[in-house]
Amino acid sequence: MSKTLMAAAPDTATDFLPLEGTDYVEFYVGNAKQAAHFYKTAFGFQSLAYSGPETGVKDRVSYVIRQNKLTFVLTTPLRSGNPMADHIYKHGDGVKVLALRVQDATNAWEETTKRGGKSYMEPTRLKDDHGEVVLSGIHTYGETIHLFVERKNYTGAFMPGYKEWKTVYNPTDTGLQYVDHCVGNVGWGQMNKWVSFYEEVLGFRNILSFDDNDISTEYSALMSKVMSNGNGFVKFPINEPAEGRKKSQVEEYLDFYDGEGCQHVALATNNIVETVTTLRDRGVEFLTIPTSYYDELLDRVGHIDEDLQPLKELGILVDRDDEGYLLQIFTRPVEDRPTLFFEIIQRKGAKSFGKGNFKALFEAIEREQELRGNL
């Protein structure tokens, strides 16, 4: 029995935390120079900005890369024995900051901390010749952070402290456009706590829920609630493991990330067949789906604009809801720990998350869990 629930659209008129979207995603990684090369080469990001000893920052190096409205920051510490190095030792490479664009970072900090948000950074003004950026931030699940970024008075490449990063090596982009959603994995019994956090501290609404009857295969189970901000630009699904015959994929993540954290970042494209073909040619590894998935696909989802054959060759999944359909595919983890991965998604009207694909997808994840001996 499915208990999926679609709530009414959130009310934007009373939004105390108006968000303009995702500003950037920052990853703490063991070797930012090599990670930047990987995301440029494999995913088609472009060099944008750099900070490190040459720009007066002595303890770390950050490379900023961009593709359309997607900005990633890859940061590595230069020495051991500090919180950033400890973070990487404990979690491996992963998402540290989900940065959100606001008009007023001071107001965002005041509104969220007075509602119980734990401060990570008080409103801080950064200035250089190109203007001013104001940052503030609060903690969310695990050691993950939400920074509020106010950059309306800034014209530089990224923000003060960074210089423009120009390179000779500039691979073409792959059609990735923007962050569609970011999923957090939280511990046993913790999902509703974090749902309340997003409701009360950030003014988000729970727009969609999946229980373990929706998301259960023979072995693996999880529960998920999708949180959305007022205008729908920022969506954070929250996953919690559920009891199954064997270990939940969320539990495997929690074991190897050594705590709660960001499970996947979904990147939108306007042409998933072209994007995934290019990504695959450049070495991005995707989960594979048995070709039997496609035998009855059109009976399930009805007419789609795309030819079935390339979807089948690439392993792209399709699902339909009341408003349209979506196409999606998931990469394998992008580091050796079975933790962070990416989703590539193309929406054609659908605003949901591919519930009809959960079984096929989770069976694909379980096959890989089995190979790792973690099922």
What residues make contact with Fe ion under the rule CB under 5 A? 266, 343
The residue (of 182 and 301) whose beta carbon lies closer to Fe ion is: 182
Under a CB-based contact definition with an 8 Å cutoff, are residues 229 and 12 in contact?
no
The residue (of 91 and 264) whose beta carbon lies closer to Fe ion is: 264
What's the number of CA atoms in the CB half-sphere (13 Å) around residue 333?
A: 21
For the CB of residue 35, give the shortest distance to Fe ion in the complex, in Å: 22
188 is written with which tokens?
């046993």
Q: What angle do CA 106, 136, 149 make, to 5 degrees?
A: 90
With H, G, I as helix, E, B as strand and everything else as coil, classify residue 289.
Answer: coil
234 is written with which tokens?
């920022």
For the CB of residue 354, give the shortest distance to Fe ion in the complex, in Å: 7
The residue (of 158 and 330) whose beta carbon lies closer to Fe ion is: 330
Strand partners, 343: 266, 330
For the CB of residue 344, give the shortest distance to Fe ion in the complex, in Å: 10
The residue (of 61 and 279) whose beta carbon lies closer to Fe ion is: 279
- For 278, residues 6+ apart whose C-beta sits below 8 A from its C-beta are 44, 174, 175
What sign has the CA pseudo-torsion 306, 323, 175, 94?
negative
For the CB of residue 264, give the shortest distance to Fe ion in the complex, in Å: 6
The residue (of 93 and 343) whose beta carbon lies closer to Fe ion is: 343
For the CB of residue 204, give the shortest distance to Fe ion in the complex, in Å: 16
Q: Give the largest Cα separation in the chain, rounded.
A: 60
For the CB of residue 229, give the shortest distance to Fe ion in the complex, in Å: 17
Is residue 168 left, alpha or beta, with left meaning phi > 0 and alpha meaning psi from -120 to 50? Answer: alpha
The residue (of 111 and 252) whose beta carbon lies closer to Fe ion is: 252
346 is written with which tokens?
């193309």
The four Cα atoms 353, 349, 227, 368 give a dihedral, to 10 degrees, of 20
Under a CB-based contact definition with an 8 Å cutoff, are residues 226 and 239 in contact?
no
The residue (of 266 and 334) whose beta carbon lies closer to Fe ion is: 266
Q: For the chain, what is the radius of gyration of the CA atoms? A: 20
360 is written with which tokens?
């096929």
For the CB of residue 254, give the shortest distance to Fe ion in the complex, in Å: 18
For the CB of residue 270, give the shortest distance to Fe ion in the complex, in Å: 18
The residue (of 65 and 345) whose beta carbon lies closer to Fe ion is: 345
